[in-house]
Amino acid sequence: MITTLSGDTSRLLATVDFVKEQDTATLLPLLLPGLDGPELHTLVEHCRFSHAALLVLPTDEAELDAMLADCGLLPALPAQPSVVVRGRLAERHRRRAAELDVRILRPAVVGADGAQRMVEVFALTVPPGSDLDSIAAHEREHQHEAHVAFEVPVPDPLVLRGLCATFARYGARPDGGGYNPHETGTVFYFAAPDETKAGYRRVELYVPGDHRDVLSAHLDEHRARQPAETLLRLLTGAWTTQALAAFAQLRLPDAMDGERGIGVEDLAREVGARPRNLATLLRYLVMLGTVAEGRDGFRLTALGALLRTDAPGSMRALALMYGGPFYRSFAGLGHTVRTGQVAFEHLYGENHFDHFARDPRLAELFDQSMAAGSAMFDPVPTHPVLTAAAELPGGATVVDVAGGNGELLGRVLAAHPRLNGILLERPHAVEAARHRLEKAGHGTRCAFLAGDFADVPAGGDVYVLSRILHDWDDERCREILRHCARAMPGHADLLVIERVLPSDGSVSLATAWDLHMMCNVGGRERQADHYGRLFSDAGLALVDRAPLPLDGHVLHVRKAPPASV
């Protein structure tokens, strides 16, 4: 044991000496050979050498304290959990992350240039005779977690992307990373180029704050270099859907707290589950970011909180729908591609509107799931058409055609107290909308009409078709639009809210929903010019369009001017 401890201590001493001797301007060219001139100056301006790191494996906390003392290191703060390194060790050695209590210590070191730096010490306790001995031996031999790190003082997304691009240009390769919620920091790992002269094979960019949006592209590039792993992650996407659906179905988010952890046994009693099986599900949810694990148990993250029953903008119904009826019908996607028959109809023997209408529970779930994407609606009430209508001296009426449970119309009426509304829906849905809008205090300003598209009421000032046209084929869309055109006075406006397929083939949620509509509804998403042709066929004209959240768009449509003779 003395030899092992001496080995860890000697490596730690060497790390301390390295941190004292180096500075940003001299270390970067060693790591990235060929880097000089303006690009070196830019990197030095936007990042600074902050620490070197290594993993030590003491038998207990007392041994770790002695090791630090031998190296003259005095941590100013208590050890914190290391989410990223723990995850890397778990993946590398195929172990449960919960079995690996990896902690971080960051004792200060003063460099030769007088700058304050740190030695980052990852400590995995390996009790004598434990089943972690093989991990300790492997890590000591290969030193996977040894790295040098640069901190980005001003975490601007453009700066981060520029730093990552420069590292890549000089041969550094994305090598993972992660977000640590315990200290609110984001880590970008790189593998140093083969010709590096710094003596370290891994480089870290540490950025204070949550920058998982930029990190996502970095991790995608890392996975792209490992096609088998990438494909395996894609193939297991169904497991993710079902894990989130089970999370919602068991009402786990309702039983959890965002600040305080809860143990598996207590949580299992609360939701009526088997502790061992629940623990397996929770560990997977930790990987998805909907749950976080700490010493006091599991807690809910902001992402997971969206699946609470009473959360503003709750997406629980969407999780149950995508993990339920629509999930089962997606097994028939190949049938749809081969035959053209809608997979949902092939499986259930009827279209999804009729199927849900016959089952009150499913009908309510479907209406709730449609409202779950309500973030798309956030900017709609401020659209210039609605703002102008609200300023008309005599007031104005907004007609929401097939308006579901009234989510969107309620937002419009709340934003504009001088507007009135009419909601047209199927009989079972119109009652749900009536209840919702009356509860919100808008009942006296809204009329409710049970009917079909042929019953679009005349005389409105603004008509709304929100996520309706993508349910249908082109001929049915023309029919719906003609009903609207006949009802619209000459001054009226029509707002069509849909996801619009990009014309350049760029990544968009609309592409995913195009597949969903084909498989489950028999509809489709469309490009803007396709919608333009449908509007023209119905005697309407596209005036303009504006982007919405979740890759949505609002298309402003008016009656086409009469053709000149």
User: What integer pLDDT is reported at residue 112 of this predicted model?
Assistant: 84
User: What integer pLDDT is reported at residue 226 of this predicted model?
Assistant: 67
Cβ neighbors of 41 (< 8 A, separation 6 or more) are none
- 3-state class of 550 per DSSP? coil
Closest C-alpha to 237, from 284, 276, 282, 174:
284
pTM higher than the cut 0.75:
no
User: What integer pLDDT is reported at residue 508 of this predicted model?
Assistant: 84
Half-sphere exposure of residue 204, counting CA atoms within 13 Å on the CB side? 24
516 noted as active-site residue: no
User: What integer pLDDT is reported at residue 195 of this predicted model?
Assistant: 87
User: What integer pLDDT is reported at residue 372 of this predicted model?
Assistant: 67
Q: Which amino acid is at 165?
A: A
The H or E element containing residue 498 is strand 493-499
d(CA 450, CA 430): 6
The number of helix segments (H) and strand segments (E) in the chain equals: 26, 18
In which residue ranges of the chain is pLDDT below 50?
Answer: 1-5, 565
Closest C-alpha to 503, from 477, 522, 524, 530:
530
User: What integer pLDDT is reported at residue 1 of this predicted model?
Assistant: 33
Closest C-alpha to 376, from 476, 292, 495, 284:
495
Q: For residues 260, 265, 270 and 274, what is the CA-based torsion angle, rounded to 10 degrees?
A: 140
**Within 10 Å of residue 391's Cβ, how many Cβ atoms?**
11
User: What integer pLDDT is reported at residue 5 of this predicted model?
Assistant: 43
User: What integer pLDDT is reported at residue 329 of this predicted model?
Assistant: 94
Instruction: Find the farthest-apart pair of alpha carbons in the chain and give their distance in angstroms, rounded.
Output: 100
Tens-digit pLDDT profile for residues 4-29: 445 889 999 999 999 999 999 999 99
Helix, strand and coil in the chain, % to nearest 5: 50, 20, 30
| CA separation, residue 159 to residues 14, 97, 164, 273 (Å) | 32, 32, 9, 47
Token pair, residue 184, equals: 């609110």
Choose the catalytic residue: 51, 147, 470, 516.
470
